[in-house]
Structure 1
């Protein structure tokens, strides 16, 4: 089984001050530039260790505040991480659902090509078949009679 991907919350320079104003977010660096410097250093360290089990998740202040209020949390480092992980897991679940649906559609399409086709069989109506032959026979006799009898 593949290792679980760990979410890393990231912020834009524009959103950072609003997130920093949320209750409990006083453990964050004072400015976005400081946070970004720390983030880049940890990213370089993960690259050096060849640790590719992390994914960036953008945290937007409005949605994050709504999630905090809904769950009665404050914006601590732990809850920021938890929020980012929930978003990442939700996104990956949606992607896996779409891939599974595509697989099902492909299999269904392949099976429809493999199914034997049913051809409707309609036997000829003997009455019309006999009439057709009688007309042809009559024309043939008329032609022969015309040529023999002159």
Structure 2
């Protein structure tokens, strides 16, 4: 069973003022401490509801600013949420790709090294096998004759 995981944009105390300076970010609390208190309250509420379908995504101002410019957005709450979700989805897709690659490598390794290999069976050539026995038997009889007959 899979569930949709929603991203929650989070910020470090050092980066928060730089993100607040971006155009459109005036809907954010004035200080990181205020934002963090709201974040912790929302987290406690999610824990109380047993809602574990959220994932924190750290927003860095430089990359976020580049993404905003690339997509012609301002740093509104919706844009921050959208950016965080894109980063989360991208990370989860990379992890899923890595898991699939690992499964493929393990399967190929098992085929090569763990599973018994089929080896073609070639019965011995009885003509040369019989000839070898005949030579050995002849030498044995010659040795016996030499010892008996002296």
TM band (smaller chain) = 0.7 to 0.9
Q: What residue in structure 1 maps to residue 105 of structure 2?
A: 105
CA RMSD of aligned residues (A): 2.3
Structure 1 stretches of 5 or more lacking a match?
none
CA distance in 2, matches of 1:89, 1:21: 26
- Alignment deviations for residues 63-114 of structure 1 (CA, whole Å, 9 cap, x no partner): 1111111111111100000000011111111122222233333444455545
Between 115-124 and 89-98, the greater mean CA deviation after superposition: 115-124
Q: What residue in structure 2 maps to residue 123 of structure 1?
A: 124
Give the Å deviation of 1:146. 1.6
Structure 2 stretches of 5 or more lacking a match?
none
Give the Å deviation of 1:116. 5.2
| 1:29-48 mapped onto 2 (5 Å cutoff) | 29-48=29-48
CA distance in 2, matches of 1:129, 1:108: 44
CA distance in 1, matches of 2:20, 2:117: 65
TM-score by length of structure 1 reads 0.85
Q: What residue in structure 2 maps to residue 9 of structure 1?
A: 9
Between 3-12 and 47-56, the greater mean CA deviation after superposition: 47-56
Give the Å deviation of 1:26. 1.1
TM-score by length of structure 2 reads 0.85
CA distance in 1, matches of 2:54, 2:67: 22
Give the Å deviation of 1:57. 0.5
Distance 1:136 1:60, change over 3 A: same
Distance 1:32 1:124, change over 3 A: same
Give the Å deviation of 1:134. 4.0
CA distance in 2, matches of 1:35, 1:54: 17
CA distance in 2, matches of 1:148, 1:73: 110
